[in-house]
């Protein structure tokens, strides 16, 4: 059994989210978080956390970015997908930072050490979507709070991650995709990108099979608008991660749409009751009700 506790950390004014292992009491996190803040490289700016997990030189490379964050020049990219689908690994390769994959229990924002185009990126790593509605609402709240801290910036692109090794689309993968689509809104168009991951783990003898699955996903699921389908393959390498990011700076892409969740967070707020009113929040509840019906 997992305990999930989320609360406000009064001294620094940021929200915290923690997953406690079975048997631990959910009253420790304030203390624990305090220790984490003291002992790790945690940068706080305007209530926004910029995590850096590695060396001093990388730490310094993040410091000037604080100023850049204030200037609002980067393209904000939101990553969504189930746990283990490769979001944090993608960030590691896209940013050149040694980001720890072990547990993503709250949202963090990363900036590539070397810009790959005229504009740099701010990439939001998010906790993985789950099969439980309560967990997914918690993830949505984390995302909503990060978006409201980033305001007046808005999300310029979103990426959905799916492990190609999982094969054809399961029920929970479908429901994660439905949540992603409701986070984006249908008019987000090509600003929503779909990535199949783990290509470097596919058996070379079965590449045809996985290519077929990839094409099927592209044909039937991986798009917001049927006219254009930005779908990529990722095999845990920097070149592919950067290729995906380059999509967002392609001059042919009109990056003029606002993420539906961004608009809804402005309207309903980033509290749990606020995110329940968003389209993604409603989608989470709808899929929970569907599952309950199946069980009954
Ligand atoms: N071989 C391979 N491993 C990957 C790939 N993407 C992620 N992983 C590994 O899969 C595990 C989960 O990935 P992670 O990036 O933490 O997934 P997240 O939960 O979506 O952030 C980690 O051990 C990664 O090293 C990939 O494309 N290829
Ligand atoms: Mg992660």
Per-residue pLDDT of 23-51, as tens digits, reads 333 333 333 333 333 333 334 343 444 54
Claim to verify: residue 64 and residue 8 sit in the same structural domain: no
Protein residues within 5 Å, CB atom, of ion ligand 2: 87-88, 104
**5-16 b/e (C-beta count within 10 Å ≥ 16 → b):** bbeeeeeeebbb
Measured CA to CA in angstroms, residue 212 lies from 14, 174, 255, 270 at distances of 45, 18, 30, 40
Residue nearest to atom 7 of ligand 1 (CA): 86
By mean pLDDT, which of 3-17, 85-99, 108-122, 196-210 is the weakest? 3-17
The CA 92 to ligand 2 mean position distance, Å, reads 10
Query: How does pLDDT run across 51-86, given as a tens digit for each residue?
Result: 443 333 333 333 334 444 445 689 999 999 999 999
For residue 117, what are the domain limits?
53-295
C-alpha–C-alpha distance, residues 17 and 193, integer Å: 27
**Pick from 138, 130, 201: which is nearest to 172 by CA?**
130
Q: Is the pLDDT of residue 247 over 90?
A: yes
Q: Is the pLDDT of residue 143 over 60?
A: yes
The CA 98 to ligand 2 mean position distance, Å, reads 13
The verdict on residue 45 lying in a domain is: no
Claim to verify: residue 99 and residue 218 sit in the same structural domain: yes
Ligand 1 interacting residues, C-beta cut-off 6 A = 81, 83-89, 101, 104, 128, 161, 197-198, 200-201, 234-236
Claim to verify: residue 10 and residue 102 sit in the same structural domain: no
Give the pTM.
0.80
Claim to verify: residue 148 and residue 33 sit in the same structural domain: no
- Taking a C-beta distance cutoff of 8 angstroms, is the pair 162, 173 a contact? yes
Claim to verify: residue 27 and residue 63 sit in the same structural domain: no
Alpha helices in 17-110 (DSSP H): 29-39, 56-71, 87-95
C-alpha–C-alpha distance, residues 180 and 183, integer Å: 5
The verdict on residue 100 lying in a domain is: yes
Q: Is the pLDDT of residue 287 over 70?
A: yes
C-alpha–C-alpha distance, residues 253 and 190, integer Å: 7
The verdict on residue 166 lying in a domain is: yes
What is the share, in percent, of the chain residues with pLDDT greater than 70? 74
pLDDT at residue 284, rounded to an integer: 97
The CA 89 to ligand 1 mean position distance, Å, reads 5
The CA 94 to ligand 1 mean position distance, Å, reads 13
Distance, CA of 25 to chain centre? 28
The verdict on residue 196 lying in a domain is: yes
Nearest listed ligand to the Cα of residue 83: 1
Distance, CA of 86 to chain centre? 10
Claim to verify: residue 144 and residue 98 sit in the same structural domain: yes
The verdict on residue 48 lying in a domain is: no
Band (pLDDT 50/70/90 cuts) for residue 294 is: low
The verdict on residue 44 lying in a domain is: no
Angle 73-13-259 from CA coordinates, rounded to 5°: 40
C-alpha–C-alpha distance, residues 154 and 138, integer Å: 21
Ligand 1 nearest atom to the CA of residue 91, by list position: 15
Residue nearest to atom 3 of ligand 1 (CA): 198
Claim to verify: residue 16 and residue 128 sit in the same structural domain: no
The verdict on residue 102 lying in a domain is: yes
The pair of structure tokens assigned to 206 is 């079965």
CATH number for 257:
3.40.50.300
Claim to verify: residue 287 and residue 166 sit in the same structural domain: yes
**Count of CB atoms situated within 10 Å of the CB of 222:** 22
Claim to verify: residue 97 and residue 142 sit in the same structural domain: yes
Claim to verify: residue 111 and residue 168 sit in the same structural domain: yes
Claim to verify: residue 178 and residue 137 sit in the same structural domain: yes
The verdict on residue 275 lying in a domain is: yes
Residue nearest to atom 25 of ligand 1 (CA): 89
Claim to verify: residue 70 and residue 100 sit in the same structural domain: yes
Measured CA to CA in angstroms, residue 109 lies from 27, 93, 143 at distances of 27, 14, 11
Domain count, the chain: 2
């Amino acid at each position: 059994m997992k305990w999930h506790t989320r609360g406000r950390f009064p001294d620094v004014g940021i929200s915290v989210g923690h997953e406690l292992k079975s048997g631990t009491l959910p009253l420790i996190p304030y203390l624990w978080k305090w220790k984490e803040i003291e002992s790790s490289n945690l940068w706080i700016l305007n209530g926004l956390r910029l995590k850096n997990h590695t060396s001093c030189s990388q730490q310094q490379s993040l410091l000037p970015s604080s100023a850049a964050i204030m200037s609002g020049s980067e393209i904000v990219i939101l990553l969504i997908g189930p746990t283990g689908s490769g979001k944090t690994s993608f960030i590691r390769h896209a940013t050149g930072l040694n980001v720890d994959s072990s547990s993503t229990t709250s949202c963090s924002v990363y900036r590539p050490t070397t810009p790959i185009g005229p504009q740099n990126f701010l990439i939001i790593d998010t906790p993985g979507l789950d099969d439980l509605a309560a967990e997914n609402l918690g993830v949505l709240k984390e995302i909503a709070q990060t978006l409201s801290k980033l305001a007046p910036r808005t999300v310029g692109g979103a990426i959905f991650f799916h492990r190609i090794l999982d094969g054809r689309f399961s029920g929970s993968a479908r429901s994660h995709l439905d949540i992603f689509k409701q986070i984006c809104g249908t008019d987000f168009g090509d600003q929503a990108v779909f990535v199949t991951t783990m290509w470097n783990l596919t058996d070379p003898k079965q590449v045809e099979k996985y290519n077929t699955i990839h094409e099927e996903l592209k044909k039937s699921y991986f798009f917001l608008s049927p006219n254009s389908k930005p779908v990529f393959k990722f095999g845990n390498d920097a070149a592919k991660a950067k290729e995906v990011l380059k999509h967002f700076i392609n001059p042919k892409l009109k990056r003029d749409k606002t993420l539906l969740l961004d608009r809804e967070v402005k309207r309903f707020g980033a509290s749990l009751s606020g995110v329940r009113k968003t389209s993604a929040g409603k989608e989470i509840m709808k899929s929970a009700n569907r599952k309950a019906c199946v069980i009954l």
